[in-house]
Chain A
Amino acid sequence: MVFTLKRLGLALLVALAVSMLSFTLLHLSGDPASAIAGEGATDVDIAAIRAYYGFDRPLIVQYADWLFKALRGDFGESYYFQLPVAQLIGDRLSITMTLGVCGISFALLTAVPLGVAAAVRPNSLIDRVALFISVMGQAMPSFWFGLVLVVIFSIKFQLLPPSGTKSWENFIMPTVVLGYYAMPAIMRLTRAGMLDVLSADYVRTARAKGAGEMRVMFKHALRNAIIPVVSLSAVQMGFMLGGSIVVESIFALHGAGYLAWESIGRNDLPTVQALILIFSLFYIVFTFLSDLLNAWLDPRMRVG
């Protein structure tokens, strides 16, 4: 209980620090009034906007104002859309989260079997193939991979729609691109974990007792090897949500990542600010949960 509370407190502090840092960074650009006014606004327009939004106040006052409102779930109004940021983000977040869940599932469903197979037969063909796939994945720029998929599957064979969110088919290519980004790390960790566990005493004992190979693999080995993979996946999931900007922009998925990119270009600070906070909250929540999970699985860690 104390452990949980301590972790929770820490997580909240991290969120606070992130919000403060990003608020300061975003306001370094100076006065956002002319950005809001848009191309072709007159000086009068800009002065009116400056007064309306209170950009003339000290930064710390603006931050405090933002923070107290944010705590009540009010992230202000988008400079660009003139709509509440919460509403704007709400429907876009579901797209990004769908993408994130699909991406991590794809990564796990390919990485874990490959990792296990590679660990069972080290230096075999399958091990080399797995290594090759992971090395490729680490070196291939994801925007390039995405564009190549579009050319092949949308233009040449017309199997998949190149953009949009109309049906589940729209999510196939983005899922593969995003998932491939997270896959190498998970595969390597699975393989390493399995190798460790397979040489551990209890697995040898189980083997010696004549347990079937399958049973050894899944009941004894994988269950233990998967623990670090779970927490890595949580971390990767957090990264992926923040990193889906490129994928969303290629496939015109109007998710939170794409909104973030566009909002940066438009200097729509309330939206960017809220999105940075939300993406970091994802990370914080996922790692918090995986901390708890690990502590539950392995009581020795509760001390930390």
Chain B
Amino acid sequence: MKTVLTGASLFALTMLAAATPALAGKSDDTLNIAFTKELENIDGYFNSAREGVIMQRTVWDSLLYRDPETGEYKGNLATDWKWVDDVTLDFTLRQGVKFHNGADFTADDVVYTVNWVADPSHGVKTQRNVNWMKSAEKLGPYKVRLHLKAPFPAAFEYLSGPVPIYPHKYYAEVGPSGMGQHPVGTGPYKVVSVDPGKHFVLEKFDGYFKDSPKGQPKIGHLDIRTIPDVNTQAAELFSGGLDWIWQVPADQAESLKALDQFTVANESTMRIGYLDMDAAGQTGKDNPMTKLKVRQAINYAIDREALVKVMLKGKSKVVNAACFPSQFGCTDDVTKYPYDPAKAKELLAEAGYPDGFSVDFYAYRDREYAEAIMGYLNAVGINTNFKFLQYSALRELRMSQGVPMSFQTWGSYSINDVSAITSEFFKLGSLDSAHDEQVKEWLDTADSSIDPEKRKEYYKKALQRIADEAYWAPLFSYNSNYVFTRDLEFTPTTDAIPRFFQMSWK
């Protein structure tokens, strides 16, 4: 038995070492890419996946572009823009831009796109991306006025991201499903073939406008396949069938790095992990989570440093506030709860649970992190009854009857603003387990003000109160691992949106 096992593991290791990547994509100027998840519709208004965001940046352009290095907003399809008042924005559009189907880009395209997506009856999947816009108005062939429903300080962030501009004639003709099957945009790559959910082939768009802030595409073709199993992805990488994979789990990335055959890059992302606790007593008025000391105990019980160091690895960081540190309005100046199991037990005893208690603990992703958290909770006497559900099922449950405690994560759609996370969860919505009127009031003030200093001040108040009350147990930020052929030049960004148009062969 022993020899068999030794043999097996030696076998696998030597095999990996012996395997040499064959047939890399550089020779035929094609970057072979794997997606883990099936993308439902390439039309970015009708998917909510990270893969969709990537495709949207690759095939389409938005009015603005945020430079991932500097955070500065640059003109993309617009060349100039200014606030007329709190709810009105004027744009001057770029001239000479062409869509992939040959149509010219004009004000009509912006007006049509905005008015179409802002209409809730058209069912844009992620309403929060578009529902702040009221309408668009044509002021001239290359001049557009955008009307907002209410003051919306994060407007630039959205306009540089999830609001791509579509060709008005074509979109009116084919609609979302037609756009999904034969996408047409102005972006650096045009789509050659779509096999929904399975396979996308993209080609460099030779007519891409020269002074785009995105730069010019360099690699000839992008061949994107959906491969669900990470092992299969790695196997393809070894056999040369793939050149670039991402979202590689930390342990595998580390092992791949040790083999020294590929480039392994790591970058932090905006996603944070946290424990959500039923402080408002949705699951029962006297449930343990309603007690401040219990929530504090849970915060003290978890060794977040250790989790980051040995499980998440890479550029992940411990998070103390209910937001991602780089987001506008986020602050680290809040009450901190270092790892202290003795104190946790003490607090539990003071709260009336000297022998701990049992609780249902829910999660929907990253089972191993949830398991490790459970281990820490068990160690201070909190017995967890683990339930792993689909995201949708867990959400449904939280909305209808609430859950006492769950491991949640939130990526803020890469929106670099606290309104995309703290305001999302602490304004008495159906996913707000705190139900704190005071927090909501401060967040409302911050969300609707366009004075940056005032926004910061009120976000800070809200975040401090959230930490004092220990409504959440913020845990860590995520990171993403990219593994790719050494022929490729690529630097990941913190927004976790790989930009294929900036990649090149070495």
Direct contact of A and B (CB under 8 A): yes
Asked if A265 CB lies within 8 Å of chain B CBs, one says yes
Please state if B229 and A82 are interface contacts (CB–CB under 8 Å). no
Give complex CA distance A150, B238 in Å: 11
Q: Is the CB of A43 within 8 A of B429?
A: yes
B395's partner among A34, A158, A249, A266 (CB-CB below 8 A) is: A34
Cβ B236 vs Cβ A42 within 8 A: no
**For residue B128, which residue of chain A has the nearest CB?**
A42
A48 to B126, CA, bound (A): 12
A81 touches B126 (CB 8 A): no
Q: Are B396 and A162 in contact (CB under 8 A)?
A: no
Query: Which of A32, A40, A81, A162 is in CB contact (< 8 Å) with B232?
Result: A162
Q: Choose, from A208-216, A222-230, A251-259, the stretch at the interface.
A: A251-259
Shortest distance from the beta carbon of B343 to any chain A beta carbon, whole Å? 35
Given A31-B396, A162-B239, A252-B226, also A38-B231 (CB < 8 A): no
Chain B positions 7-36 with a Cβ under 8 Å from a chain A Cβ: 12, 15-16, 18-19, 22
Interface hits, A140-169 → B, CB 8 Å = 147, 150-152, 154-156, 158, 161-164
**Count, chain A residues at interface, CB 8 A:** 47
Chain B contacts for A251, CB-based, 8 A: 232
In the complex, chain B residues whose CB is within 8 Å of the CB of A252: 225-229, 232
Task: Judge whether B392 and A81 touch: CB under 8 Å.
Answer: no
**Chain B residues, CB < 8 A from A249:** 228-229
Q: Name, among B15, B197, B238, the residue most crowded by chain A CB atoms within 10 Å (CB to CB).
A: B197
Contact of B225 among A88, A150, A156, A164 (CB under 8 A): A164
CA distance A155 to B20 in the complex (A): 9
- Closest-by-CB residue of A relative to B393 is A29
Q: Do residues A44 and B127 form an inter-chain contact, with CB atoms below 8 A?
A: yes
Out of B22, B231, B399, name the residue touching A158 (CB < 8 Å): B22
CB-defined contacts of B127 to chain A, threshold 8 Å = 41-42, 44-45
Question: B125 interface residue, CB < 8 Å from A?
Answer: yes
B381 beta carbon closer than 8 Å to chain A: no
Q: A residues 66-90 with Cβ under 8 Å of B?
A: 78, 80-83, 88
> Does residue B220 face the partner (Cβ distance < 8 Å to A)?
no
Whole-angstrom CA separation of A56 from B300 in the bound complex: 44
* A162 in contact with B235 (CB, 8 Å): yes
- One digit per residue, 1 when the CB lies within 8 angstroms of any chain A CB and 0 when it does not, for chain B 164-181 equals 000000000000110010
Which of chain A's residues have a CB closer than 8 A to the CB of B387? none
Asked if B391 is at the interface of the complex by the 8 Å CB criterion, the answer is yes
Query: Interface code B291-330, partner A: CB below 8 Å = 1, 0 otherwise?
Result: 0000000000000000000000000000000000000000
**For A164, what are the chain B residues with a Cβ–Cβ distance below 8 Å?**
225, 227, 241
Asked if B62 is at the interface (CB within 8 A of a chain A CB), the reply is: no
Q: Does A281 contact B (CB under 8 A)?
A: no
Residue numbers in B under 8 Å from A41 (CB-CB): 48, 125-127
With A41-B125, A265-B390 known to touch, is A163 a contact of B396 (CB < 8 Å)? no
B 115-162 contacts with A by CB, 8 A? 120, 123, 125-128, 131
By a CB distance below 8 angstroms, the chain A residues around B12 are 151
Pairwise interchain contact B229-A254, C-beta atoms closer than 8 A = no
In chain A, what residue has the closest Cβ to B121? A48
CB distance from A56 to the nearest CB of B (A): 15
Partner of A34, one of B19, B120, B399: B399
A82–B226 touching, CB < 8 Å: no
> Which residues, 185 to 241 on B, are CB-close (under 8 Å) to A?
195-199, 225-229, 231-232, 235-236, 238-239, 241
Interface contact B15-A156, CB-CB below 8 Å: yes
Q: Are B15 and A151 in contact, with the CB atoms below 8 A? A: yes
Contacting residue for B196 out of A83, A155, A162, CB 8 A: A83
Contact A154/B235 with A44-B127, A82-B177, A162-B241 known, Cβ cut-off 8 Å: yes
Task: Check: A276 CB closer than 8 A to any chain B CB.
Answer: no
- Cβ of A250 within 8 Å of any chain B Cβ, yes or no, is yes
Pick the residue among B46, B131, B430 that contacts A82 (CB under 8 A). Answer: B46
The verdict on A163 contacting B227 (CB below 8 Å), with A151-B15, A155-B15 known, is yes
Check B231 against A150 for contact (C-beta < 8 Å).
Answer: yes
Given contacts A156-B19, A164-B225, contact A150 B235 (CB under 8 A): yes
Q: Is residue B436 within 8 Å, beta carbon to beta carbon, of the partner chain? A: no
Residue from A43, A82, A155, A265 in contact with B40 in the complex, judged by beta carbons closer than 8 Å? A82
B464 within 8 A of A: no
Residue A35 at the B interface, CB < 8 A? yes
Choose among B199, B229, B413 the residue that contacts A250 (Cβ–Cβ < 8 A).
B229
Bound together, the chains give a CA A164 to CA B223 distance in angstroms of 13
What residues of A have a CB within 8 angstroms of the CB of B40 in the complex?
78, 80-82
- Known contacts A155-B238, A164-B225: A39-B391 contact under CB 8 Å: yes
Q: In the bound complex, what is the Cα–Cα distance between A164 and B199 (angstroms)?
A: 10
Q: B-facing mask of A20-41, CB < 8 A → 1, else 0?
A: 0000000001111011011111
- B485 located at the interface, meaning its Cβ lies under 8 Å from any Cβ of chain A in the complex: no
Chain A neighbourhood of B228, CB < 8 A: 249, 252, 258, 262
A155-B123 contact in complex given A40-B128, A163-B227, C-beta closer than 8 Å: no
Instruction: Please tell me if B41 contacts chain A, counting CB pairs below 8 Å.
Output: yes
Instruction: Give, as a whole number of angstroms, the nearest-CB distance from B108 to chain A.
Output: 26
Q: Does A273 interact with chain B (Cβ within 8 Å)?
A: no
Interchain CB contact under 8 A, B396 and A34? yes
Asked whether B125 lies within 8 Å of A150 as measured between CB atoms, the reply is no
Residue among B40, B120, B393 having the largest count of chain A Cβ atoms under 10 Å: B40
Q: Is B38 an interface residue (CB 8 A)?
A: yes
Residues of B within 8 A of A88 (CB): 196
Enumerate A221-254 residues with CB–CB distance to B below 8 Å: 249-252, 254
- Which of A41, A147, A252, A267 has the most B CB atoms < 10 Å from its CB? A252
CB-defined contacts of A254 to chain B, threshold 8 Å:
195, 197-199, 226
Q: Closest approach, in angstroms, between the C-beta of A191 and any C-beta of chain B?
A: 30
Can you list 7 A-B contacts (CB < 8 A)?
A34-B399, A44-B131, A45-B125, A249-B228, A252-B226, A254-B195, A267-B393
3 A-B pairs closest in CB distance: A35-B392, A38-B48, A162-B235
Chain A contact residues, CB within 8 Å of chain B = 29-32, 34-35, 37-45, 48-49, 52, 78, 80-83, 88, 91, 147, 150-152, 154-156, 158, 161-164, 249-252, 254, 258, 262, 265-267
